[in-house]
Amino acid sequence: MSSTHALRIAVDIGGTFTDGVAEDVESGRIWVGKTLTTPDDPGEAVSAVVDQLLARIGDPQAAGRVADVVHGTTLVTNTLIERKGVPTGLVVTSGTADTLDIRREVRYDLYDLDLELPEPLVGAEDRFEIDERLGAAGEVLRPLAEEALAELVEQVKAKGLSSVAVCLLHGHVNDAHESRVRDALKKALPNVSVSISSAVAREIREYERMSTTAANAYVQPLVETYLVMLSKRMQEAGIAGSLRIMLSSGGFTSADAAAETPILLLESGPAAGVLSAVNAGLLGEVSHVLAFDMGGTTAKACVAVDGAPAVAHAFEAARVRRFKRGSGLPIMIPSIDLIEIGAGGGSLASVDNLGLLKVGPQSAGSEPGPACYGRGGEKPTVTDADLVLGYLDPDNFLGGEMHLDKGLAEKALADLGAPIGLDATRTAAGIATIVNENMAAAARVHIAEKGHDPRAFTLVATGGAGPVHAVEVARRLGISTLLCPIAAGAGSCLGLLAAPARVDRSWSKPSLLAALDWNEAHSVLSGLHRDATAELNEAGADAGAVDWVLTVEMRYAGQGSTLNVTVPYGKVDESLAPALEEGFEASYRDLYGTTVPNAQLQTVTWRLTGKSGVESRRFTWAADAADKAPEPKRREIYIPVRQRYEEVDVWERYALPPGMVLKAPLVLEERESTLIVPADGRVEILPDLTVKVVLGETS
C-alpha cells in the first residue's frame, strides 16, 4: 500500500496489554496492534505496538505520514497505587500541616474493627509550614515575608526532594502567596518540580485540594520524563507528528500541558473506552448506552445518554479497599463518571476463610500473567477459567501469535477447587459466574443512581475480555441488545481517535447570588478563558470549532450539597443571574419535588469547559470485507443457562460479510478479542462490521 493520506495513531497502555490502532484519516481504515505491557518500561511496549502498526500499513513511508499520536496511559494510576512516586514535599499555611492526617474524620466502614486508611503521599517529616494567612475572601491577613520564603527554600533544599506541592489556606481564591512560593522554589531549586493548588485544583475543600495537589507533585517528574522519552521514541521511529495525551474528562491535550498537570490523566484509558462505546452508540442511533469495558486488570462501566457521558469532579485513587468509597485518596479532577465494576482477565481467583470462591482484587498482570500464559504464574485467573470453559482458543490467541496452555490452566483451577470439592470445570464456571454477577450487580446500582432502568439500555462491549463476558452481564441486567464494534479488543484506542480536544478550568468562591461581585467573576473567568484557549491551541484544536460552557455549582445558603446549572459561556454580568436562578430551581424541583421559599441562592464553584465538537466517527476494517463467509469451525463451550458444554459454530469475525444473520449460541473470533454468545439469540453483522446481538430472538 502506498498513499499520501495522513495517518493517526492511538496507543493505550493497560495493566496486561498495550493496544494500538492506526487510522487513515481520509478513508477511516484502521489497523490494529497489541502486545503485552512492559511494566518496568511502559514505553517499550508502546514502541513495539507502533512498529507493529507501521508494518501492517505496508507503506515504507508510513511513519512520515503520521500527523499525531494520541496516547492513554495507566502510569499515573499505577504510580499512586504502587506508591512509586518521587520524594515529595508539601508547603502549607502554619497550623494546617496535619490536614492530610485528619482527613474528614469519617470512617468509610463503621463496623470494620481493622479499618485501614490510605497513607498520605507526603509524610509528616516532609511537610513545611510557612507563616502567612489569607482570609476566606482572599484578603491578606498575614503577609508572606521574604525571610519566611528564604527559610523555606533552605528547608526544602536540605531534604533533597524531587518535587514540592504548595497548598496554602484559601489559595483557590487568591493565588498570590502560592505563586510567590513557587517562584522562590523554582529560582533556588530549578531541578525541583513545583505544583501549586491554585493551578491544579482551584476549588474549595481544603483536604481534597491538598490531596490532589500532593498527588500531582508525587507523579509529575515521572510523567514528564516518560513523555519526553516517549517523544524521543516516536522521533526514532520516524514520526514527526505531535504527541497528544488523553485526559480523564474525555478529551485530549498537548504533551506539555499533560506534563504540567499529570493528575488529569488518572483515568485516561477507561475514559477512552467510554468514548469508543459512545461512538458506537451514535453510529447505531442508540440513545441509551451502557459502556462495558473489560481488560486484563479491571472492568468498568459508564452510562451515556444521548451521546454524552456524565463528568464528575470528585474521584478516588489508590483505594485500600477496592470497592469501598472513602477508602482512597480524594482527587478533584474532571473525570468521566464511570464505575469500576469488577475484575479483569488477569484477576486472581482464591478461596476465602469461609471456603467460598472469590475473584480479585489482586491481578496477575502481564508478569507473570495467568497460569495459561506459561510465564511462571501458578494461580488461576479469569482468563484461565475462560480458556477451560471453551471461550478462548488456545491456538488462536492474539491471532495465533501467543499460545495458551490449557493443561496449566486446568491444573491451577483443579488445585484451587480441590479443598472445597470442585473440579477444574466447576471451579472455572464458578469463577465466571462470580465475575459476571458482581459486574451486573454493580452496573445495576450505577444505572439506578442515575435514575434509569437498565432494560432501556444497549450494552456496548469493548476491551480484550469485554466481549467474552458481555452477554452474561447483559442477560443478568435484563438488557436484550448488545453492540460489539470493530477492533473491540482495542476499543480504548478507537475512543482516543474519536476524542475531542477538551480543557477544564474551575474557580471557587462561595457568594450569595444577590451579593455577587460580577466584576470579579468576569475578570477571573476571562483569565481562565484566555489560559484555556492557549492550551487548546497548543493541543492543535481549531479555536473556531470549540464550544464553551459555564457550569455553576449552586445551593441554598446554609446547605452543604450543590446542584449544577449549565449555561453557554458568554458575557458574565448581572444579566446572567435570572438564568442561574431559573436553572437551579428547575433542577432542585426535579430532584426534591419543590423549592425552598424565600431561601437565598449561593454560587460556590464556577467551571469553564471548552470542547471541540463531538461527531460520530466511522472506522472501517483495513482488509476488504468478505462477500461470502467460509464454513465455521466447531468447538464446545460452556452454556451457563443450561450448565453444560455444547458444540457451537466458531466464526472468523472479519470473514463475515455485512448483512449476514446468525443464530446463537456461537463464537466470533478476532485477533484481539473473542465475542461469546452463550445463549439463544440473533446475531447480525451491520454495514460497518459492528456485531449486533439481540438476546432471545432466534429467527
**2-16, 306-320, 650-664: which has the highest mean pLDDT?**
650-664
Q: How far, in Å, CA of 375 to CA of 372, rounded?
A: 8
Q: What is the pLDDT of residue 28?
A: 87
Q: Is 230 helix (H, G, I), strand (E, B) or coil?
A: helix
Helices within 136-189 (DSSP H only): 146-159, 176-188
Nearest residue to 477 (alpha-carbon basis) of 507, 496, 457: 457
Model confidence band, residue 699 (pLDDT cutoffs 50, 70, 90): very low
Arithmetic mean of pLDDT, 49-74? 90
Cell 481562565 appears where? Answer: 528
| Grid cell in block for residue 106 | 469519617
Cell numbers at 462, concatenated: 469493548
Give the pLDDT of residue 396.
82
| pLDDT band, very low/low/confident/very high, at 611 (cuts 50, 70, 90) | confident
Answer for the pair 19, 672: CB distance below 8 angstroms, yes or no: yes
522-567 tens-digit pLDDT:
999 999 999 999 888 888 777 678 899 999 999 999 998 999 999 9
Scanning the structure block, which residue is given the C-alpha cell 454477577? 437
For the segment 339-384, what is each residue's pLDDT rounded down to a tens digit? 877 677 888 899 988 888 998 777 777 678 899 999 888 899 999 9
Banded pLDDT at 4 (limits 50, 70, 90) = low
Q: How far does Cα 246 stand from its chain's mean position?
A: 9
Tracing cell 504510580 back to the chain, one arrives at: 79
Per-residue pLDDT of 557-566, as tens digits, reads 999 899 999 9
Q: Would the pLDDT of 1 be above 50?
A: no
User: Nine-digit cell at 329?
Assistant: 485518596
Nearest one of 363, 334, 308 to 78, comparing CA atoms: 363
Residue whose cell numbers read 436484550:
480
pLDDT per residue as tens digits for the range 119-135 = 999 999 999 999 999 99
Distance between CA 427 and CA 358 in Å, rounded? 11
In this structure, the dihedral spanned by the alpha carbons of residues 370, 375, 376 and 377, taken in order and rounded to 10 degrees, is: 0
Could you give the CA distance from residue 319 to residue 690 in angstroms, rounded to a whole number?
36
Domain residue ranges of the chain, discontinuous segments joined by +: 86-222, 347-432, 502-612
The topology (CATH level 3) of 86-222 is: Rossmann fold (3.40.50)
HSE-CB at 375 with a 13 A cutoff on CA atoms is: 13
Phi first, then psi: give them for residue 270, nearest 5 degrees.
-60, -35
- Distance between CA 679 and CA 698 in Å, rounded? 10
Q: State the cell numbers at 475.
A: 442477560
* H-helix or E-strand spanning residue 177: helix 176-188
Half-sphere exposure of 493 toward its Cβ, with a 13 Å CA cutoff? 32
What average pLDDT does the chain have? 90
Higher-pLDDT residue of 155 and 298 is: 155
| Listed residue (371, 408, 410, 370) closest to 388, CA to CA | 410
Give me the helix-helix angle, 75-82 and 206-236, nearest 10°: 130
